[in-house]
Structure 1
Amino acid sequence: MGFADRRYTVNVSILHTDRPLLDRPAAVAANGFSNIEMWWPWPDEPTPARSELDALRGAIEDAGVQLTGLNFYAGRLPGPDRGALSVPGAESERFRANVEVAAGFAGSLGCGALNAVYGNRVEGVEPGAQDALALENLAYAARAADRVGAVLLVEALNRVESPRYPLLSAEAAVAVVDRVNSLTGLGNARFLMDLYHLGVNGADVPAVIDRYAGVTGHVQIADAPGRGAPGTGTLPLGAWLDRLAGAGYEGLVGLEYKRGKEAGEFGWLAR
């Protein structure tokens, strides 16, 4: 299977960032794609004004694209933060305040996946206390996602860019998924398999695919080094996606890479 034969969703928080947020859905449509995903668009505001939510909803609907994935509030992303839900104090409270807002926005657009970024380890706080807080908040988010017909995604990041993030392997992320499902009984927590992060970590990606394809709710790609488009680095993304398809994964593939200097942002598809 070639790259052009797959179903993609374009992450407009890392692509088309040369345009204002409200212009990005139309830019995705102009490139021939029908799906978009995004990080929480207001990194400093977990509960934006209704007018801001309505404007973004209108831009998505007017462009005729489908919102397929949305992050819950995760702090300054991109930036120094890697989520808020396991961070005691104000950040955890901001995450909780955001849950119903994000779920409601996703539900209003038929978005079926909400990503909850775990958060960094905090100096002076016991890891066990952070994990207990995380489980409580993830269960809260899973219940909100379930009410709008969405899955809750948990992902592993890479240790090079996120050394204080505790979920640095597929095994660690899936263990959290299992704990959330056990607590809620809903079964809607799923693994977000980001092939870029796994590749940077030097994981045995084929083994990860074989073991965890069945609990994977979404897949994202970028090449490494550099987090560029497929073909700009050394990761065998095509082979990994073929293996995922062979393992039964039929979902979308998120394009979560940085724009390069080559003409356009999607020339690799034509190649």
Structure 2
Amino acid sequence: MSWELSVNLEYGFTEAGEKIEDRIAAAAAAGFTKVELFLLKGRDLPAIKAALDANGVQLVSTVADYVTQLVDPATHDGFCETFREAAENARFLGCGNVVVTSGRGVPWLKRPVQLAIFADALRKIVPIAEELGTTILLESANTRHDHPGVLCSTTQDSVVVADMVDSPRVKVLYDLYHSVVEGEDPEAELQAAMHQVVHVQIADAPGRGEPGSAAIDWPGALAMLERLGYRGLIGIECQPQRPSAEAFAHIRNLCR
């Protein structure tokens, strides 16, 4: 089957300059119609919206926050405000997906207790997500290289929390790069997560470069996604080692 790709503009098309509007135009010129961003707070949202509209590009995901330690119940009320702002900004840009991460874990509480506290935080923002038509995407990140100390480091962590919350507004983003770096068996983990996964992101490992730059078997990875029944977008979230249009050519050819 063919796969539709999105590209994260925090890493991709940076050769177009610092302005996200210019990266949107560059991505569109290279044939991408869907893009992803990290935080929207503090950015020129009207300019970004104008660039999306002018280039026929859709923003498909953004991130609420990276620093809030949601295992601490004292952060939950403040995070509700953070999430509302992020979801409202995303909605202004026509984006319905907001990524939520757990923040750092703590050594003095057992993991099931910490995951339950994280689930409590999510239950508080579900009504905001329902009001604004937002899907909350839970993303696990590897602790071995990129995010030491993060609570949700395995794919199953995010799945367990999504299952606890049990809301159609809370789903899972599976990142193949983080899964591989964390030492997981991607097929086993994704198979167990498929009832919650609605988005997949990719980069090669080691190094987080573009697909084809390191050790992941990309024809095999795409065959795995098809075999497990995934039919959604594949988001390229990598640090390209060549100009973006050239760097992404390999995965685009495979996804056709």
TM-score range, shorter chain: 0.7 to 0.9
8 Å contact kept, 1:120–1:164: yes
1:167 aligns with 2:152: yes
* Structure 1 residue 265, shift from structure 2 partner: 3.2
Which amino acid is the alignment partner of residue 250 of structure 1?
A: R
Instruction: For residues 42-63 of structure 1, give each alpha carbon's deviation from its aligned partner in whole angstroms, at most 9, with x where no partner exists.
Output: 4xxxxx48xx332322222222
TM-score (norm 1): 0.81
d(CA) in 2 for partners of 1:105 and 1:247? Answer: 34
Is residue 60–residue 95 contact of structure 2 (8 Å, CA) maintained in 1?
yes
Q: Tell me the TM-score normalized by structure 2.
A: 0.85
Cα offset, 1:153, TM superposition: 0.9
Q: Partner of 1:40: helix, strand, or coil?
A: coil
Higher relative contact order (Cα pairs below 8 Å, separated by 6+ residues): 2
Q: Is the 8 A contact 1:209 1:243 kept in 2?
A: no
- Give 1:4-83 correspondences, 5 Å limit: 5-18=2-15, 19=17, 20-42=19-41, 48=42, 52-75=44-67
**Mapped contact 1:221–1:256 kept (Cα < 8 A):** yes
Deviations along 1:161-190, one digit per CA (max 9) or x if unpaired, are 222012121211111111222xxxx32211
The correspondence for 1:113, drawn from 97, 100, 108, is: 97
In structure 2, the CA distance between the partners of 1:92 and 1:125, relative to structure 1 (3 Å rule), is farther
Contact 1:35-1:68 at 8 Å conserved across structures: yes
Mean alpha-carbon deviation: is it higher for 149-158 or for 102-111? Answer: 102-111
1:127 shift after superposition: 6.6
Structure 2: state its 5+ residue gaps.
Answer: none
Output the aligned Cα RMSD.
Answer: 2.6
Structure 1's unaligned 5+ residue stretches are 43-47, 76-82
1:139, 1:238 → 2: CA distance?
38
Which residue identity lines up with residue 213 of structure 1 in the other structure? M
Q: Distance in 2 between matches of 1:118 and 1:101?
A: 18
Decide whether the 8 Å contact of 1:22 with 1:59 is kept in 2: yes
Number of residues of Structure 1 aligned to a counterpart in Structure 2: 249
- TM-superposed deviation, 1:203: 0.9
Structure 1 residues 17-50: Cα deviation after superposition (integer angstroms, max 9, x where no partner): 34222322111111101001111144xxxxx48x
**Match of 2:247?**
265
Deviation at 1:220, TM superposition (A): 0.3
The sequence identity of aligned pairs, in percent, is: 31
Alpha carbons 1:72, 1:95 under 8 Å: kept: no
Moved over 4 A (4+): 91-94, 122-133
Whole-Å separation in 1 of the counterparts to 2:192 and 2:115? 24
* 8 Å Cα contact 2:71/2:115 also seen in 1: yes
- Residue 45 (structure 1) aligns with: none
Instruction: Pick from 99, 104, 114 the counterpart of residue 83 of structure 2.
Output: 99
